[in-house]
Amino acid sequence: MSYSIRNAHPSEFPFIGQLMVKVYSQLDGFPKPTEQPQYYKLLENVGDFTQKPGVELLVAVSSDGTIDGAVVFFSEMQYYGSGGIATQEKNTAGFRLLAVAEAARGKGLGKLLTLACIHKAKLLGLAQMVIHTTKAMQQAWKMYEGLGFSRSEDLDFMQGELAVYGFRLKL
């Protein structure tokens, strides 16, 4: 099956929100909805990010029209919404909330979505990309490093009791 990356349509936002809640709530070692209800509300309403300038919700769509993955791209870091110093970064893009449906894992969708974000940042002439991940997302962590992202401890922060780790990619 082949996939394409495009911007999500507003009518798809509720489905994408449910996909994100399902993906994140099933991660071993990641806080559950009862532990961080505000975070899961943010996931459920992921389409709300697109109301901010320079924010796009990208989806990976199969040739049969199924949305099997999504990510939020930020060309304006002030809207990135993380803890730590990332929102103060200049000449920088970022992405958050990368999610791939369980049935579609292993098909390279995470990498496809990541590369789409990198491409957008390069087209905008930005100098770097900033992202965050957790220990619960080791597969993604390895993928990011394979694409050239480097750990940046200055971007680390705590989300409640969850350690969140920052990465940078020079563009």
What does the DSSP assignment read for 84-130? TTGGG-SSEEEEEEEEE-GGGTTSSHHHHHHHHHHHHHHHTT-SEEE
Q: In the block, which residue shows the tokens 């082949």?
A: 2
Distance CA 135, CA 140 (A): 10
Q: In the block, which residue shows the tokens 């996909």?
A: 19
Residue 13, pLDDT above cutoff 80: yes
- The two structure tokens encoding residue 20: 């994100």
Nearest residue to 154 (alpha-carbon basis) of 78, 92, 91, 85? 85
Confidence category of residue 121, pLDDT binned at 50, 70, 90:
very high
pTM for the full predicted model: 0.95
Residue 1, pLDDT above cutoff 80: no
Q: What is the pLDDT of residues 21-32, one digit of tens each?
A: 999 999 888 889
1 three-state secondary structure: coil
- The two structure tokens encoding residue 127: 């100098």
- The two structure tokens encoding residue 34: 């009862």
- Top pLDDT among 82 and 5 is at 5
Query: CATH number of the domain at 3-170, please?
Result: 3.40.630.30
> What confidence score (pLDDT) does residue 10 get?
98
